[in-house]
Chain A
Amino acid sequence: MGKYTVAMVAFAVVLLASCSAADSESPDSSQPITPSEQTENSQTLTSTPSSTNQSYKPATELGPAENVPVPQVPKAAKSDSADGATAFALYYFSLINYAVETNDAEPLKQNSLRKCEICGTALIDPAGRAQITGKWQVGGKHHYKVVDSYMSSKNKATVSVRFDVDAAKFYLEPKKIDSTSDKSPSNVAALGLEFDSGWKVYTVKFEETGQ
């Protein structure tokens, strides 16, 4: 990637950053979905970071994040109900952010069924590959809120999660950007869930527009 391109990307990132900064000042719904918004929701995930002696450090151009606490499954997520499914979906997204920071997709694996294609192709497999290549990302955080939770049968639920993803820079070695991805516009991911002593994701469908 040429210097010029890097400069362009950096410029775009600055633009994006300034945009979102402006957004967050206005009280309308155009602002990115922030964690504080989720706490207003009664069905919020209460992640209790496991106590660590070493302090958490976010990823930088120098290296991946350190001492990232593994999100703990909230009690509410264990119930076979629409509210339980909601709590589980929020937990699942916290695991996505955990995998983004750590490339550790083990918790995602434990909460996904193998027939979930997107779980493999967008999350679990890339994390496994990134562990081998040593790729890490700065940014790429998912912001999310549940916009619908529906029990389609006794043990199946669909939880629709509106989310966006921060722009990310990818590194294979310190200070050298390998690639970038832009901020993803707001979209809805519908998580199809099955309950069998706990919720698991059987499908992820992204909302299609332009019907």
Chain B
Amino acid sequence: MNTRSVYLVITVGALLFNSIPAYGNPADPLKIACDHNDDQVGLGKNHVDHLYDKCKSTEPDDNRLQNFETWSDEDEQPRNNNDNVVRKPKYHIRDFDECLFGNENHSNCYVNPDVAPCPDGSLPLTRQIYTDDQLLVRQYRYCPGDPLPNDLPEDLFVEEIRIDLKKFRSFPIKGSEIQSAPNKFSLRNGHTHFWASENTQEFNSNLSGSNVRIKAIPIQWNWNYGDGATRNLSFPGEAMPSHTLHDETATSHSYSETGKFGVRVTTLYRGEFSVDGGPWQAIPGQAAVPSNTLPIDVWRTKKELIAND
């Protein structure tokens, strides 16, 4: 289909529509069907998705609203933000990870059901785009490798140092160290308690004459118990001196067979970087770092009748 025929169809369609009011159709199809509920206060999706630009031209259902003066200053507000201004704006990017905010209890954040994971399984971070006057123009979820928004071409962005996932993974991030109680030993069907270390690590790098600091922050521990069982946890566990094989813990595992097993944990790290002492920014994606392998010898107990006292 070529463009000419498309054009014709549109023209005919427009003619058809134009002719409808002449037949006295009371429901004017050219008038955009407007939700009349523009007196509902709140940031709920229903209200915010409202097409105000189109709705404004229609008459309100309620006569009392005829003379209602809207509050926002339309003259002052360029409709498409800064995209159409004559001055060519320069944009810059700031990325953050909402799970690392304040660094307090981030453990549940990475299993946030409200946020769909990226194709690589990592949780998206949040990208903000600012004008050169530091005004926020856009905020969106960002996955490793995502392109810039279509309407903001790359040459509108200030060149700045950013650490990408490949660079982040190239730093010598150490994996967690794991321990068990009892130490490297267990009994079949007992609850062996495992725990891993949790080490935030920092690196320095010199890039294009700037001093860049990089932080690797552990966020998830993926256990492989060597008997086919695996488990992903958002916390490392901790030493429990009074633990016995009777006590199931949040990070314990029970072997149903005897034998020698190798236990490993893969730690997922989120990254942040800071250029020349500037604010910390998030690095998209994660680095997966393996731990040492902890050998564990599982024995069985033999049941015998013994007197209690």
Contact = CB atoms under 8 A, between A and B. Distances in A.
Query: Do A and B make up one complex?
Result: yes
Interface of A: 28-30, 41, 96, 99-100, 103, 105, 109, 114-130, 132-133, 135, 137, 140, 142, 146-150, 152-153, 156, 158, 160, 162-163, 165, 168, 170, 179, 181-182, 184-190, 192, 202-209, 211
B136 A168 contact: no
B64 A29 contact: no
Contacts of A150: 94, 96, 128, 279
Contacts of A122: 41-43, 47-48, 50
Contacts of A162: 98, 114
B3 interface: no
Interface in B63-78: 64-65, 68, 70-73, 76-77
Contacts of A135: 39-40
Contacts of A184: 43-46
A129 B65 contact: yes
Interface string B30-45: 0000000111111111
Contacts of B48: 118, 122, 206
B47 A160 contact: no
Interface residues of B, number: 56
A121 B50 contact: yes
B42 A29 contact: no
Nearest to B128: A158
A163 B102 CA distance: 18
A203 B72 CA distance: 11
A137 B72 contact: no
A29 B62 contact: no
Nearest to B114: A186
Nearest to B112: A29
Nearest to A149: B101
A185 B45 contact: yes
3 closest cross-chain pairs (CB), A and B: A120-B72, A114-B73, A129-B39
Interface of B: 37-48, 50, 52, 60, 62, 64-65, 68, 70-73, 76-77, 94, 96, 98, 101-102, 104, 108-109, 111-114, 116, 126, 128, 130, 133-143, 146-147, 149, 279
Nearest to B60: A129
Given A137-B42, A188-B98, 17 more contacts: A114-B71, A114-B77, A118-B43, A120-B70, A125-B72, A130-B41, A133-B62, A135-B39, A150-B128, A153-B134, A156-B134, A163-B43, A181-B47, A184-B44, A207-B139, A208-B139, A209-B140
B136 A158 contact: yes
Nearest to A189: B43
Contacts of A119: 71-72
Given A117-B77, A132-B62, A184-B46, A125 B71 contact: yes
